[in-house]
């Protein structure tokens, strides 16, 4: 494959600190024009992988490549790749716009780009504020504005939803959708599975520095085979009867006025209840990705424990 075919690639990446192995033979690629979810619990190795990709850490062995080469081989890396590796992206006493101007000088882009990106992340009104007066969510937006300043086609985002309120998460999802539609390639590290399940194209699940599962979102959903929806209603038996006619199946046992069903979406179950004049009092959808993730991480840790 050419560099264009693999904008981000990790080959046999291993990182050790003394006797502790943080990354253990990681191998994955990020396809162009896609969002790849890099999932795992805290301490799994996600941040270390991104730091190595950005040249901030050196691997013990293996390679981390951007457009086919290490970042140190790129003549103007800021115009190729942007990164949000945390929200400490600017001096706390410096105004937002001044932090943008310093970054613009380093990237050799005009000041107009600073205002363009601040507008993009909805921070124009805070441009004169010192960074120390920004909320955590606003600092996340500033970090993203700086990452986008050089108009890179590749983005590395480490937990970018941290500190964002629900409207902020919705805003970020919309922005990432637009960036993907415009051809950007994004590696998105997160442990917030529910927030990214409907956003990413591909997934790489890492636990204790090792990849335990990877593939397309479609493959993950196929391995799950059915979304579970727990419903509380005034006629559980009636709902089960109607849902069964439409292809639904009961998972587990009935629990008073609650039942868990698979085979029908929450929307389909809502229509089923409405058509049968059944009042739904509660409905909880279980994330398919979350079940797959939990199964993969549990199996991985169990195997590690047996080998210890």
Give the residue-averaged pLDDT of 31-50.
Answer: 94
User: Are residues 114 and 209 both part of a single domain?
Assistant: yes
User: Average pLDDT of the chain?
Assistant: 88
- Sequence-ordered list of residues with C-beta below 8 angstroms from that of 163, at least 6 positions apart, any chain: 87, 135, 136, 137, 139, 140
pLDDT one-digit tens code per residue, 116-140: 999 999 999 999 999 999 998 899 9
Judged against a pLDDT cut of 90, whether residue 76 lies above it is answered with yes
Which pLDDT score is estimated for 19?
86
- State the CATH number of the domain containing residue 94: 3.40.50.300
User: Are residues 44 and 76 both part of a single domain?
Assistant: yes
Which pLDDT score is estimated for 237?
94
Element (H, E) at 277: none
Give the residue-averaged pLDDT of 50-61.
Answer: 96
pLDDT one-digit tens code per residue, 58-74: 999 999 999 999 999 99
Give the residue-averaged pLDDT of 147-171.
Answer: 92
User: Are residues 78 and 49 both part of a single domain?
Assistant: yes
Q: By CB neighbour count within 10 A (0-12 exposed, 13-18 middle, 19+ buried), where does 126 fall? A: buried
Domain boundary among 197, 222, 247: 222
In a domain, 57, yes or no: yes
Give this prediction's pTM. Answer: 0.77
Judged against a pLDDT cut of 70, whether residue 206 lies above it is answered with yes
- State the CATH number of the domain containing residue 271: 3.30.70.100
In a domain, 290, yes or no: no
For residues 198 and 307, the model is more confident at: 198
User: Are residues 128 and 248 both part of a single domain?
Assistant: no
Q: Write out the residue range of the structural domain in which residue 150 sits.
A: 8-222
Domain boundary among 206, 222, 238: 222
Which pLDDT score is estimated for 89?
81
User: Are residues 185 and 261 both part of a single domain?
Assistant: no
User: Are residues 78 and 20 both part of a single domain?
Assistant: yes
**What residue ranges in 86-236 does DSSP mark as E strands?**
154-158, 185-190, 202-207, 210-216, 228-233
pLDDT-derived band at 224 (thresholds 50, 70, 90) equals low
Domain boundary among 222, 239, 267: 222
User: Are residues 257 and 181 both part of a single domain?
Assistant: no
Give the residue-averaged pLDDT of 16-35.
Answer: 95
Report how many domains make up the chain: 2
Judged against a pLDDT cut of 50, whether residue 308 lies above it is answered with no
User: Are residues 30 and 171 both part of a single domain?
Assistant: yes
Judged against a pLDDT cut of 60, whether residue 301 lies above it is answered with no
In a domain, 278, yes or no: yes
How many CB atoms are closer than 10 A to CB 271? Answer: 14
Judged against a pLDDT cut of 70, whether residue 35 lies above it is answered with yes
Q: Are 163 and 132 in contact (CB under 8 A)?
A: no
User: Are residues 206 and 236 both part of a single domain?
Assistant: no
Give the residue-averaged pLDDT of 83-106.
Answer: 91
Q: Are strands 228-233 and 61-66 parallel, antiparallel or unpaired?
A: unpaired
Q: Are 243 and 235 in contact (CB under 8 A)?
A: no
pLDDT-derived band at 197 (thresholds 50, 70, 90) equals confident
Give the residue-averaged pLDDT of 12-25.
Answer: 94
Which pLDDT score is estimated for 292?
58
pLDDT-derived band at 296 (thresholds 50, 70, 90) equals low
DSSP 287: P
Judged against a pLDDT cut of 90, whether residue 166 lies above it is answered with no
Judged against a pLDDT cut of 70, whether residue 307 lies above it is answered with no
For residues 151 and 303, the model is more confident at: 151
User: Are residues 153 and 259 both part of a single domain?
Assistant: no
């Amino acid at each position: 494959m050419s560099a264009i075919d693999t904008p981000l690639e990790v080959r046999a990446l291993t990182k050790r600190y003394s006797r502790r192995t943080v990354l253990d033979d990681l191998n994955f690629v990020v396809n162009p024009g896609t969002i790849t979810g890099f999932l795992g619990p805290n301490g799994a190795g996600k941040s270390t992988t991104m730091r190595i990709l950005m040249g901030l850490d050196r691997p013990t062995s293996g390679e981390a490549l951007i457009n086919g080469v290490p970042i140190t081989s790129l003549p103007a890396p800021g115009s190729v790749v942007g990164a949000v590796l945390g929200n400490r992206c600017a001096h706390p006493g410096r105004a937002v716009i001044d932090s943008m101007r310093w970054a613009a000088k380093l990237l050799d882009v005009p000041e107009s780009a600073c205002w363009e990106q601040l507008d993009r992340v909805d921070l124009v009104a805070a441009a004169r504020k010192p960074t120390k007066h920004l909320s955590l969510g606003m600092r996340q937006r500033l970090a993203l504005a700086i990452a986008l300043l050089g108009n890179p086609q590749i983005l590395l985002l480490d937990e970018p939803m941290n500190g964002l309120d629900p409207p902020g998460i919705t805003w970020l999802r919309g922005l990432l959708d637009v960036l993907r539609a415009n051809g950007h390639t994004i590696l998105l590290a997160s442990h917030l599975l529910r927030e990214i399940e409907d956003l990413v194209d591909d997934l790489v699940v890492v636990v204790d520095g090792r990849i335990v599962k990877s593939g397309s979102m479609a493959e993950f959903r196929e391995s799950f085979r059915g979304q579970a929806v727990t419903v509380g209603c005034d006629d559980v038996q009636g709902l089960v009867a109607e849902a069964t006619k439409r292809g639904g199946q009961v998972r587990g046992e009935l629990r008073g006025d609650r039942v868990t069903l698979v085979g029908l979406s929450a929307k389909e179950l809502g229509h089923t209840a409405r058509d049968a004049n059944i009042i739904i009092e509660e409905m909880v959808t279980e994330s398919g990705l979350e079940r797959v993730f939990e199964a993969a991480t549990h199996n991985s840790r169990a195997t590690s424990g047996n080998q210890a």
